[in-house]
Amino acid sequence: MDYFQKEVEDVILELKSNEEMGLTAAEAEARILRYGKNTFSPKEKESIFVKILESLKEPLIVILLISGLISLAMGHLADGIGIFVAVLIATSIAVIQEGKSDKAFEALSKLSEDVHVKVVRESKIVYLSQSDLTIGDIIHLETGDKVPADARLIHSSNLGIDESMLTGEAEAASKKSDKIDREDCPLAERKNMLYSGTMVTEGRVVAIVTSIGDQTEMGKIANELKEEISSDTPLQQKLADLGKRISIIGSIAAAGIFLFEVFTMYRHGILVLDNIGAALPGIKDAFVTSVALIVAAVPEGLPTMVAITLAFNMQKMAKNNALVRKLIACETIGSVNVVCSDKTGTLTENKMTVVEVWCDGKSVPVDKLHCDEMIQNFCVNSTADITKNNDKYEFLGNPTECSLLVCADKNNINYLHYRKEFGEPVSEYNFTSARKMMSTAYQREKGFRLYTKGSPEKVLNICNRILYNGSIVPMTEEHIKEIEANIRTLQDNARRVLAFAFNDFAQEPQWEDIYNVEKDLVYTGFIGIEDPLRSDVKDAIDQCRRAGITVKILTGDNINTARAIANQLGLIKNDSLVLEVTDIDNMSDQELKSKLPKIVVIARSNPTAKMRVVKLLKESNDSVVVTGDGINDAPALKAADVGVAMGIAGTEVSKEAADIVLLDDSFSTIVSAIKWGRGIYENFQRFIQFQLTVNVVAFVTVILAELMGYKMPFTTLQLLWVNIIMDGPPALTLGLEPPREHLLEKQPIKRNASIVTKDMLLKILSNGLFIVTALLMLMKTQILGGTEAQQSTIVFTSFVLFQLWNAFNSREFGVTSIFPNIHRNKLMVGVVFLTFLVQILVTQFGGQVFKTVPLEAALWFKIIAFTFSIILFSEFLKLLMRGFRGIFSNPQKD
């Protein structure tokens, strides 16, 4: 049985403590030895070597490492070094960009900085460090104090606790010490418990510590953050899948070529069992060919280009108010199809605001309230304060009372002037859960005046008159029905309703007789309070809907408020489900998974429930964004494909656990980030299409040359040069295309969809086979002229230039021509031209390293013209496809 289900006397007895005496020094020391300090256990930090090893486990990197080792073993030093340089570049970029380790747990620990707490020890109240608290300690807290550990209330006076960072509720929670019988009582409704890290916004409390350190609710979240292992993002899964397929194809082909070479030697009598030594040079050459084939198959530049492209786009997204903390999140957010959003502070402003006023018998605008009695009630029947800077209000105290002071300010009333004028109250009646109202009395010139505010039904019950149309008249049934009807309308829209009344006394009453004081009051009116939606949220939700993205609200708030917010956003349909966390707690994983598509709201949500929802969505092949700003959001932020935290209102814990931090706290920035992510995904497809064409050409050319009896067309170093250096800059410019406008009109890419589409595959194969055919023609016919010694250089240079021209083909998808938009990517034109100049230098002056010979100017012009044919071929193919699509989409009628 939990402590909230027990009487406070039983809790004190069970924990062997005493409200007046507290613990003895000896007992406290013994308990600290037994239970440990009131701190969180530190998280083990991941060393730089572990990060490097993780990077080296990528399938493409593993293949390259094996190829490099084989090259070195075979004595090909330059090839081996070239391969290892490729690995070093890719690994370094990834480690440097993600060099900042996850600091979520460290930030959580900072919230428990060593503050001092009032504690009863040996019958004396002393100040102790928070870390020295132990189970059974009696603590005294008051307004402004941070709760140092989980504790059970003993006594409290007018107590309000801000638990928003833990529960997600914007409104301060009122507390009382009565036991709770409900076994499955949600955290937010445990009114007799205090939780570590929350704040006392008003009142005083005496409580007994029940949990410390890792055992507190905050500590449990800390442990979840430590233990949660982030799964691979959709992009990582797709690239890993691509790498595995390439690995398998490359390895099988390399083994096949090696066996083919060995069989050829055996057939020609070179390989005989009695004289294997004579065949060793041939076997060595077969190994070299196999390694070259693997190098040809693997897109060595792909890991490097992914890292560089993400790094560049990370900077661009930061300029658009989306600070990307984890590199891969740049792209991953583009593939999401579900957004699990917190409500408070994410969809709403996290500021209680007066939005409706009914006074003097009618509804009036919030900034047109001309009722002195009601505004005076706002200002002097209150203990809260506000400050205003640059038209922004800061709340100091109870958020509801602060919203009343803001309403007064909007009516050009300075509450401090009223308080100075009224002076000190002659009597105060604090809010209690039984009375559900509070009153404050002041001496005035003609006697005394009492101001009361509270629950609308409680205040209405103690009124017999009403301020109506400028006069105080007796309260009638018609008045009551009118008031109740208006209040129901507000409550149906999830407004929190607060009623106000006053009474004047000619003679000073017996203030201690509260029931005779709080009766026969004059009803002045009521107000509706809400935590309003952010101004941009509605449009952003509509954009999500058009983009095929489902939005679910997972909030710690109550179900009525959450339902009203979902209704305002147009999220609820006829078959939608709005549930409380207790409803899903009773479901099996399979049952919950089947209902998730229809679930729009989960109210009273907690970290465990959020984590469970994210896990089941991902199991259903959904890609999930989780948004939030509180400590309670941190585990789900970390577990999601992309965690998005609020940069202004968010806690440090949520920001450090997230992949992306919104610098403007705007939900619409998430939509903008999704657009960028989709653009990045398309850019990856562009340069994957480009690089795979390079690899298909190299791979197929090497195999066909071997089978047709030609000598090896490229050296291993030449292949590395093409794959990394020559393809790098053009591929990078493809990766930096700005996002196209149509991206938010498309449906999300499915999590299990291949990154290589059918259209891409068609282009890779058609363009690749065209280039292979052209290269084989060059090897066989010397069609471009040149000497015998220049032929291998001509083939190598033509291979490079074919790929440079083909970079332009890779810029457009489908049947779109490259020419209309070619001027919009001037960077690409410049980079391709510079890469061409570098190739000239390598060809003319890099002979010793790259095994090339210089070419005459006439030969260069011939090669340029010959390789430009890939552009003409691709455009002709698109023209045919447009024609066929036109025929089939517009058939001729008889």
DSSP per residue, 728-779: HHHHHHHTTPPPPGGGGGSPPPPTTS-SS-HHHHHHHHHHHHHHHHHHHHHH
Is 461:467 a contact under the CB 8 Å cutoff? no
How far, rounded to the nearest angstrom, does the alpha carbon of residue 172 sit from its chain's CA centroid? Answer: 27
Give me the pLDDT at residue 102, please: 43
Structure tokens at 463: 């009124």
Residue type, 849: V
**Residue-wise pLDDT tens digits, 695-717:** 888 888 888 887 887 887 887 77
Distance CA 770, CA 799 (A): 12
Domain 354-530 has CATH 3.40.1110.10: yes
Give me the pLDDT at residue 633, please: 78
Taking only Cα atoms into account, the Rg of the chain, rounded to an integer number of angstroms, comes to 36
Catalytic: which of 132, 150, 162, 342?
342
Q: Name the residue among 680, 595, 667 with its Cα closest to residue 339.
A: 667
Structure tokens at 454: 């509270």
H/E element, 116: strand 116-121
Is 712:705 a contact under the CB 8 Å cutoff? yes
How does DSSP assign 398-444, residue by residue? -HHHHHHHHHHHHTT--HHHHHHHH-S-SEEE---TTT-EEEEEEEE
Superfamily of domain 312-348+535-673: HAD superfamily/HAD-like (3.40.50.1000)
Domain residue ranges in the chain: 3-35+113-227, 312-348+535-673, 354-530, 757-894
DSSP 41: P
Distance CA 715, CA 731 (A): 22
Structure tokens at 553: 């609200």
3-state secondary structure of 340: strand
3-state secondary structure of 139: strand
Distance CA 729, CA 835 (A): 7
**Which regions of the chain are under pLDDT 50?**
97-109, 111-113, 228-229, 889, 891-894
Assess whether 342 carries a catalytic annotation. yes
Distance CA 613, CA 801 (A): 51
127 φ, ψ to 5°?
-90, 125
Give me the pLDDT at residue 822, please: 76
Give me the pLDDT at residue 559, please: 85
CATH of domain 3-35+113-227: 2.70.150.10
Give Dmax over CA atoms of the chain in angstroms: 127
CA dihedral 311, 313, 315, 321 (to 10 degrees): -140
Distance CA 532, CA 281 (A): 79
Distance CA 213, CA 37 (A): 7
Q: Residue 578 forms beta bridges with which residues?
A: 601
Residue type, 302: L
Distance CA 256, CA 706 (A): 11
Q: Name the residue among 624, 681, 95, 639 with its Cα closest to residue 331.
A: 681
Residue type, 8: V
Q: Name the residue among 160, 229, 238, 237 with its Cα closest to residue 200.
A: 160
First to last CA, the chain: 81
